[in-house]
Amino acid sequence: MSEGKMKIAIAGGSGRMGRMLIETCLGEPDMELAAVFDRPGGAFIGRDAGEMIGQQTGVLITDDMPAAIAACDCVIDFTLPAGTMSHLAEAERQGKAIVIGTTGLSAEEKARVAQAAENIPVVFAPNMAVGVNAVFKLLEVAAQILNEGYDIEVIEAHHRFKVDSPSGTALRMGEIVARELGRDLDECAIYGREGVTGVRDDQTIGFSTIRGGDVIGDHTVLFAGMGERIEITHKSGGRVSYARGALRGARYLKGRQNGLFDMQDVLGLR
């Protein structure tokens, strides 16, 4: 990586998260917005990357993904799985670091991320917000204490445009709780209930999903016992928390040659 300011390339620059990443990166004194790229044929190709947030950056949004990655030290990607896999392959080819916040990746795609991390440094996390990652840690402790006599439900809400369900954050919460309880989430998760479902199996972890309006992201893990309920909740008021976390992840990768990391590593919560 280059000396001085860390050079950042942002994938999907015309999207909601891409715009927030551009704005946040421009406010970081130790970082330089080196490139912004988007899918070929996008309406914003050739326009200033700051136009959508009322700024002039001198960086034009391009559809030349390899050239954009060549201009940076680290790529930040919050796009869609197919695009992320393409960007990951190019980052690996060029030996560039990458921060991946894309959700909805398949098991095979996650394995591909891990494979690439043998050659380049990667931060891959379902949620980059510092507060959410604090909640992940709290869930470890809660599951250890509330390990008997409590039914567990994960409830999440997002805006109407979100394409994957349950959210990557909700799934990660379920994975953490299941791990601490010695369960396999693939075997104990319940993703929907309808009709006469019978008495609740006390080994299951339930998921409820809400999609509507402009909800940025709300997540609650409910531990429901007889006579009491414990709820651990995180509510996002804006995407800036994800952007700040992603840039913190990029800083963590500076000087590293390879390895797969998540925000628990970035925040020193291991």
Query: How much of the chain is helix, strand and coil, in % rounded to 5?
Result: 35, 25, 40
Do the domain assignments include residue 214? yes
Query: Residue 246 — very low, low, confident or very high, per pLDDT cuts 50/70/90?
Result: very high
How far is CA 148 from each of CA 118, 143, 182, rounded to the nearest angstrom? 39, 9, 12
Do the domain assignments include residue 1? no
Mean pLDDT of 229-247: 95
Q: Which helix (H) or strand (E) holds 82?
A: helix 81-94
Residue 255 belongs to domain spanning: 6-128+239-266
DSSP 48: B
User: Which CATH number do you get for residue 64?
Assistant: 3.40.50.720
State how far the Cα of 232 lies from the Cα of 218, in Å rounded to an integer. Answer: 11
Query: Residue 269 — very low, low, confident or very high, per pLDDT cuts 50/70/90?
Result: confident
Do the domain assignments include residue 99? yes
Mean pLDDT of 194-219: 96
Please tell me whether residues 82 and 50 are part of one structural domain.
yes
Please tell me whether residues 68 and 200 are part of one structural domain.
no
Q: Are 77 and 4 in contact (CB under 8 A)?
A: no
Tell me the pLDDT of the chain averaged across its residues.
95
Query: Residue 38 — very low, low, confident or very high, per pLDDT cuts 50/70/90?
Result: very high
Do the domain assignments include residue 79? yes
pLDDT at 64: 97
Please tell me whether residues 141 and 106 are part of one structural domain.
no
Do the domain assignments include residue 183? yes
Please tell me whether residues 101 and 199 are part of one structural domain.
no
Query: Residue 270 — very low, low, confident or very high, per pLDDT cuts 50/70/90?
Result: confident
pLDDT at 126: 84
Q: Which helix (H) or strand (E) holds 11?
A: strand 6-11
Mean pLDDT of 226-254: 96
Q: Are 75 and 98 in contact (CB under 8 A)?
A: yes
Mean pLDDT of 71-91: 97
Q: Which residues are catalytic?
A: 158, 162
CB atoms within 10 A of CB 212: 9
Please tell me whether residues 167 and 222 are part of one structural domain.
yes
pLDDT at 189: 98
Task: Give the pair of three-digit tokens for residue 191.
Answer: 């993703």
Mean pLDDT of 140-148: 97
Among left, alpha and beta (phi > 0; psi -120 to 50; other), residue 160 is: alpha
State how far the Cα of 67 lies from the Cα of 235, in Å rounded to an integer. Answer: 37
pLDDT at 52: 85
| Higher per-residue confidence, 126 vs 140 | 140
- Provide the residue type at 253 as one letter: L
pLDDT of 248-267, one tens digit each? 999 999 999 999 999 999 99
Mean pLDDT of 6-12: 98
Handedness of CA 113, 126, 159, 47 (dihedral sign): negative
Please tell me whether residues 135 and 230 are part of one structural domain.
yes
pLDDT at 135: 96
Please tell me whether residues 253 and 121 are part of one structural domain.
yes
Residue 1, pLDDT > 90, answer: no
Q: Which helix (H) or strand (E) holds 148?
A: none
> How many domains is the chain built from?
2
Please tell me whether residues 75 and 58 are part of one structural domain.
yes
Q: Which residues, at least 6 apart from 245, have a Cβ–Cβ distance to it below 8 Å?
A: 125, 127, 128, 129, 130, 133, 263, 266
Please tell me whether residues 29 and 86 are part of one structural domain.
yes
Query: Residue 172 — very low, low, confident or very high, per pLDDT cuts 50/70/90?
Result: very high
Residue 56, pLDDT > 80, answer: yes
Query: Residue 42 — very low, low, confident or very high, per pLDDT cuts 50/70/90?
Result: confident
Please tell me whether residues 190 and 145 are part of one structural domain.
yes
Residue 61, pLDDT > 90, answer: yes
Exposure letters 5-40 (e unless 16+ CB within 10 A, then b): ebbbbbbbbbbebbbbbbbbbbebeebbbbbbbbee
What is the DSSP pairing of strand 228-236 with strand 217-225? antiparallel
Do the domain assignments include residue 255? yes
pLDDT at 222: 98
Query: Residue 3 — very low, low, confident or very high, per pLDDT cuts 50/70/90?
Result: low
Please tell me whether residues 102 and 153 are part of one structural domain.
no
Please tell me whether residues 118 and 100 are part of one structural domain.
yes
Do the domain assignments include residue 64? yes
State how far the Cα of 186 lies from the Cα of 46, in Å rounded to an integer. Answer: 45
